[in-house]
Amino acid sequence: MSSRPKTKKPAVRKNSRKTHVFGANELSVRKILAKAGKPLSAYDIVPLMSKQVGHAVAPVTVYRALQSLTEDGLVTRIESKNAYILCHHPHEEHDCLFFICRNCGTATEAPDGEISRLLRKEAGHLGFGINKQILEIIGLCKNCT
């Protein structure tokens, strides 16, 4: 039995690079991440997706969906938590700055051009080429202080 839920009409995202038709798994993962409001690991997503589709979902199914969404810029991986969060600016080229609460786990994305420019300038002085910046600032959110 396939772990792919059936949908009538796949979502399509167009950008300057390609047109991507999302399958049911990608749509399920996006929906779960949108509801969560905080970063989730693939293993956090597995039981939620299984409940959503009404049958067991293998971790590899979630990882493939996350990989596809990450490659398309719709999801960002929070390295320090090995978790994923929806990107709030998916149609813009930008570097990510995340403020992550060490208590409740919420992550707030705040793209900041100033910090990115400073880091890229310093990298240039060092002869280092940056592909993408994802900065993670760990502390306490206003609800946990």
Q: Which percentage of the chain shows pLDDT scores above 70?
A: 81
Select from 3.40.50.1000, 1.10.10.10, 3.20.20.30, 3.40.710.10 the CATH code of 12-86.
1.10.10.10
Contact 72, 13 (CB under 8 A): yes
Where in the chain are all domains bearing CATH 3.30.1490.190? 96-139
- Give CA–CA dist 80/123, Å, rounded: 22
| pLDDT tens per residue across span 2-29 | 444 444 344 444 444 455 678 999 999 9
d(CA 119, CA 135): 11
Q: What's the whole-number mean pLDDT along residues 97-126?
A: 88
Residues 6+ away with beta carbon under 8 Å from 126: none
For residue 4, what pLDDT is reported? Answer: 45
Q: What's the mean per-residue pLDDT of the chain? A: 84
Question: Into which CATH architecture does domain 96-139 fall?
Answer: 2-Layer Sandwich (3.30)
- pLDDT reported for residue 22: 83
Give the total residue count for the chain.
145
End-to-end CA distance of the chain: 48
**Distance (Å, whole) CA 59 – CA 40:** 13
